[in-house]
């Protein structure tokens, strides 16, 4: 089996790694975009496979309040739908 340009051997073990991180953004869209950018930077490194963003939620600093976003997937805005700047 080939993983990111290297052949895996039968002696290689597969591990599941779960990570949490804080991403600061002005709104939900930018939080999704920054999470997606981080996901892509990890996916493009060697020895990683199937990197996913499972959940994104808003939690103000020093607060127990938490708002889970319904869909954590990043969908780029279509530039053609935005009004022209002039």
The per-residue pLDDT for range 24-62, each reduced to its tens digit, is 999 999 999 999 999 999 988 888 888 888 899 999 889
Of residues 29 and 15, the one with the higher pLDDT is 29
pLDDT score recorded for residue 70:
92
Q: What is the pLDDT of residues 56-71, one digit of tens each?
A: 999 988 989 999 999 8
Residue 34 or residue 14, greater confidence: 34
User: For residues 56 and 74, is the Cβ–Cβ distance under 8 A?
Assistant: no
Q: Does 85 fall in a domain?
A: no
- 4 touches 48 (CB < 8 A): yes
Question: CB neighbours of 73 closer than 8 A, spacing ≥ 6?
Answer: 32, 53
86, part of any domain:
no
Domain assignment present for 58: yes
The whole model's pTM is what? 0.67
In the chain, the number of structural domains is 1
Q: Evaluate whether residue 7 is within a structural domain.
A: yes
State the residue range of the domain holding 63.
1-75
């Amino acid at each position: 089996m080939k993983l990111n340009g290297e052949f895996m051997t039968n002696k290689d073990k597969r591990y599941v790694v779960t990570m949490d991180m804080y991403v600061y953004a002005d709104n939900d869209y930018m939080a999704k975009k920054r999470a997606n950018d981080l996901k892509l930077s990890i996916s493009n490194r060697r020895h990683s496979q199937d990197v996913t963003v499972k959940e994104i939620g808003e939690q103000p600093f020093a607060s127990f309040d938490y708002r889970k976003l319904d869909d954590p997937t990043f969908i780029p805005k279509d530039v053609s739908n935005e009004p022209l700047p002039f």
